[in-house]
């Protein structure tokens, strides 16, 4: 048997060939996997006179009123007594009047926005994704100022004007999410709840005529509420647009390849280079679309759609979307409870007592028996008490268990136990 030994020249050719393969194949793979994806992201047409622009203007005006001067040696919080929850009851009339004077032009601009068509500015660039949470935080400060205005009116004995301010606050919260994603949806819930919490206390002070007017307005603004699945769809489009924008040369270095000398960071960057970006973006977009379809309709408290196993959606976990849906449903539950309370007060004003059951005031005071957003189609819980002179009304809450009207408590972040009871 003859053994042919390879010459040094042959070995050199083989080694060079292997080296070239080790260089060329990974290079081709990197080029292939880092091509800029071309997924078309739809962008809604913005209204010419957009309420969004008025809210941004109002937010800019707030910069000059972080503190409100009451006297040469005294200032108070510009966000007002509602933003100073622990000591709101300690505000004097002098302080409230200074707050009202400073915020009058700001709230006028907010109300101009409420009278316009509205569309949340869509997030389509990496830079927008950084600014959006900051913008949404301003909506909450505007809500505090509307609620502070209500405190002032209630203090001077004008509960009907206080109710108008609080419903303005709730309307702001309801329309904020239109055109936005999950962050805008959560911001809207927060704003709506600021108004709803105070409105519970004002309702018993309102005249029958004002209650009737309020019922009509609540029904009208509820028509502006955005379906949760629309928020999830927009979250998917925003994620897709931002990721594609981050791959452009002018953004790539800043948001993806930030220099960091640690070994872990270097390894992460190497792994990132070999990931097929287009496939990942498409996978994540399909996830949002699947969840949006699943979460249409009634809240169920669960999802069967699995979160993609990639690091580019690591801001979410398997139940993130369900928690967002729960927060939205809690806002809807509070709104429905307020609508129902308004009907109950109107019924009592006309009949001298509260009804024995919710169906008794249909359809004069409400068009249909109010459905509990957490009740899988079941109505809100209601019991007449004291021969019709009081009542117990509640939603079973996000744990979807009837606790007999025991007010809910937050046992951990975004996890509540108990029932949603008006004013509790």
- Per-residue pLDDT, 270: 64
Cβ-based neighbour number of residue 95 at 10 Å: 21
Q: Which segments in the chain show pLDDT lower than 70?
A: 1-7, 9-11, 13, 20-36, 86, 249-261, 264-275
**pLDDT given for residue 103 in this prediction:** 96
- Report the alpha-carbon distance of residue 408 to residue 402 in Å, rounded: 11
Is the Cβ–Cβ distance between 395 and 333 less than 8 Å? yes
Residues facing residue 122 across a β-bridge: none
> Contact, 293 vs 229, CB < 8 A?
yes
Residue 323 is predicted with a pLDDT of 93
The dihedrals phi and psi of 120, each to the nearest 5 degrees, come to -60, 135
- Please report the pLDDT score of residue 254 as a whole number: 47
C-alpha 80/C-alpha 94 separation (Å) is 12
Neighbours of 2 (CB within 10 A): 3
Helices 93-114 & 159-175 angle (0-180, nearest 10) = 50
Q: What pLDDT shows up at residue 30?
A: 55
Q: How far apart are CA 303 and CA 231, in angstroms?
A: 16
pTM score over 0.85 = yes
H helices of 34-73, in order, are 51-62
- Using CA atoms, how far apart are residues 239 and 381, in angstroms rounded to an integer? 39
Q: What angle do CA 201, 395, 319 make, to 5 degrees?
A: 115
pLDDT at 2: 53
Q: Return d(Cα 9, Cα 249) in angstroms, integer.
A: 43
**Which pLDDT score, from 0 to 100, does residue 358 have?**
94
State pLDDT tens for residues 358-412: 999 889 999 999 999 999 999 999 999 999 999 999 999 999 999 999 999 988 7
* CA pair distance 339, 211, nearest whole angstrom: 10
pLDDT at residue 272, as a whole number: 63
156 HSE (CA, 13 A, CB side): 14
């Amino acid at each position: 048997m003859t053994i042919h030994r390879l010459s040094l020249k042959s070995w050199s050719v083989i080694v060079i060939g292997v080296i070239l393969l080790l260089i060329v194949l990974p290079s081709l793979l990197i080029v292939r996997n880092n091509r800029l994806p071309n997924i078309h992201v739809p962008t809604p047409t913005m209204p010419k006179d957009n309420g969004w622009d008025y809210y941004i203007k109002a937010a800019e005006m707030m910069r000059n009123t972080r503190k409100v001067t009451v006297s040469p040696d005294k200032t108070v919080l510009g966000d007002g007594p509602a933003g100073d929850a622990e000591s709101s009851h300690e505000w004097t009339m002098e302080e409230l009047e200074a707050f009202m004077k400073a915020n009058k032009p700001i709230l006028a601009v907010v109300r101009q926005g409420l009278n316009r068509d509205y569309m949340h500015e869509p997030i389509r660039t990496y830079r927008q994704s950084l600014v959006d949470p900051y913008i949404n935080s301003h909506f909450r400060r505007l809500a505090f100022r509307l609620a502070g205005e209500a405190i002032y009116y209630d203090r001077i004995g004008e509960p009907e004007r206080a109710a108008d301010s609080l419903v303005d606050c709730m309307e702001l919260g309801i329309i904020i999410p239109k055109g936005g994603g999950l962050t805008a949806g959560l911001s809207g819930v927060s704003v709506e709840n600021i108004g709803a919490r105070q409105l519970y206390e004002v309702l018993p002070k309102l005249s029958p005529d004002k209650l009737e007017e309020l019922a009509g307005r609540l029904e009208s603004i509820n028509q502006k509420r955005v379906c949760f699945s629309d928020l999830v769809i927009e979250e998917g489009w925003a994620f897709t647009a931002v990721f594609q924008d981050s791959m452009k040369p002018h953004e790539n270095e800043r948001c993806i390849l930030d220099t960091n000398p640690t070994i872990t960071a270097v390894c992460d960057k190497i792994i990132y280079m070999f990931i097929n970006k287009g496939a990942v973006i498409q996978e994540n977009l399909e996830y949002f679309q699947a969840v949006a379809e699943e979460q249409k309709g009634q809240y169920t408290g669960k999802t069967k759609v699995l979160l993609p196993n990639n690091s580019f959606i690591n801001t979410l976990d398997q139940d993130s979307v369900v928690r967002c849906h729960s927060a939205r449903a809690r806002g809807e539950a509070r709104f429905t409870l307020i609508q129902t309370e308004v009907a109950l007060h109107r019924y009592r004003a006309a009949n001298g007592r509260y009804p024995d059951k919710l169906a008794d005031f249909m359809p004069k005071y409400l068009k249909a028996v109010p459905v509990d957003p957490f009740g899988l189609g079941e109505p809100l819980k209601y019991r007449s008490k004291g021969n019709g002179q009081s009542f117990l009304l509640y939603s079973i809450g996000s744990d979807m268990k009837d606790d007999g009207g025991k007010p809910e408590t937050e046992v951990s972040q975004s996890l509540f136990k108990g029932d949603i009871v008006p004013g509790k």
